[in-house]
Amino acid sequence: MKRKRIIIIGGLSAGPSAAAKARRLDENAEILLFEKTAHISYATCGIPYALSGKIKTRDKLLVVHPDLLRKRFKVDLYLNEPVIEIDPTDHIVYTNLGQYTYDKLILATGSRAILPPIQGINEFQNWAHAKTIEDFDRVMKRGVLDTSMHITIVGAGLIGLETAENLIDAGKKVTVIELADNVLSNWDEKFATMTETILQSNGIDLRTGVSVKAVDPRTQELLLSNGDRLYTDFMFVGISVKPNTEMLTSKGAEHLPNGALIVDEKMQTSIPDIYAAGDCASIKDQVAQKMGWFPMGTHSNKGGRTAGSQAVGQVANFKGGYGTAIMKLFDHTIARTGMGIKALKANHIDFQSTFIVAATTPSFYPDPKDLFLEIYFEPKTGKLLGAEMIGEFGVDKRVDVLSTAIYAGLTIYDLPNLDLAYAPPYSPAKDPVIVAGYVAQNTQRGWYRALNVLEAEKEINSINPNEITLLDVRNPSELHRAGKIENAINIPLDDLRDRIDEIDERKPVYIYCAKGLRGYLASMILHHNGFEKITNVAGGFTAWNKIVGKVEVLEVPAS
């Protein structure tokens, strides 16, 4: 019986996963893996942390040693042998050293960092990407961390901001330059704004809405699109990546506009006997119900495992993903899952949202922390579509709960029924996920509106202050301690029933408290007393102060 020959191109993540799975399922298959560099299976996501010294040695980034694939999994490993051409008709792979036939081919070529057009960059030696182990080696060989005091990062995505944080931890002065108006372009503006505040409060010089147009190698100055000149010792470029798929797209393989190969749940491309996995492949977006591109290590491993199984004739499926991501940022964590506002609008999907500020531990437990959380759901069914969040504690727990809920097709009506773990060090009795479900249900009843602070600010500013009532239902001591929104009148919640005649029921009433609960209670009191134009500002003054930032500071009364 002829041995089946499987060729795998790419040795970073999906490729070794495919090789190991194929070997576990078929001891007799001939498995060849080609890698254009000298390294396999290293942790690209760990590079920012190696720059700061959190990861102590380079060896820690190397997850799998080549000998492990050779000896334990009997894989014929060809390092420093790039594949330069594929002939799908005759099932031949050409490398710089020879040619090899295959029965099944798995493309796991990943992606490459994009370099934007920057005049003078070819003459400028003090820059690098932060994507590959070769990038890291060049940085360390040049002694960048020893000789550079000011480092500029171009691009404010996940990798760019993780790199920025770690360079600050390494004692560097850091500037981040981002062409978009906000960092983290996939997140909603509210969360991007809070992220920017965190960056700036930790000493990062943040420049948004600008790009690097040119570099002057003689003076080591960057010329920005707004005319500013910025001296820097070194520059990291991390704006985006592009799938390495030209060898197949040139042969007619179906692909997304960015080049990511379109595959089915078996990771099969449109070309017979060729699979693709990792950053070079698309996967199904389970929320949008169309092919999407999610270049994450989690998907690379799953896709590689599926492709390896299929290549040896064993049935396996990878249903796809929906954009779950998380990032540590100094003392905070920011995370998302499913589709956010930008993606929902871009895909013309009707949705509603609920924004809350909720405690992540009970009020009686020391050092309380807030979670800023927004969930997105279908208006008619309440089915969850996505979530975004930021906080100092417990973010990872909540994003994984909501990610699981999205996969299971749960609704806002299901969230309060989840049996989530409770103990004071980890969660309040009403977990933020459960609170989000309650609040979303309340807004569905139509007794009042809920607007997040950006929506509320825009609407309030569009109306003559004399034509609305902006009602602050906090206690007076809270106002003097933290300030208030301009033009707001203060009637504490516990006094509201006795002073309700002070509010003109003919005018729209915008209510806020500290975080939202008392605003909800005040909304219900007004509703039951005949008020019809009621809006609760979701997240209250806490969210307003953190996101909008326009507050009126009050004088503290003399004691």
pLDDT digits (tens, 9 = 90+) for 341-354: 999 999 999 999 99
- Phi and psi, residue 149, nearest 5°: -95, -40
pLDDT above 70 covers a percentage of the chain that reads: 99
The pLDDT of 385-399, averaged and rounded, is 98
Return the percent helix, strand and coil in the chain, to nearest 5: 30, 25, 45
The pLDDT of 318-335, averaged and rounded, is 97
pLDDT of 11: 96
pLDDT of 424: 97
User: Has residue 553 got a pLDDT over 90?
Assistant: no
User: pLDDT grade, residue 557 (50/70/90)?
Assistant: low
User: Has residue 182 got a pLDDT over 70?
Assistant: yes
Radius of gyration of the chain (CA): 27
The per-residue pLDDT of the chain, averaged, comes to: 96
SS3 138: helix
Closest C-alpha to 211, from 190, 195, 196, 230: 230
pLDDT of 436: 97
pLDDT digits (tens, 9 = 90+) for 99-137: 999 999 999 999 999 999 999 999 999 999 999 999 999
Angle between helices 158-169 and 189-201 (to 10 degrees): 20
DSSP alpha helices (H): ranges in 409-539?
Answer: 432-444, 453-461, 476-482, 517-528
pLDDT of 502: 97
AA letter at 350: D
User: Has residue 559 got a pLDDT over 60?
Assistant: no
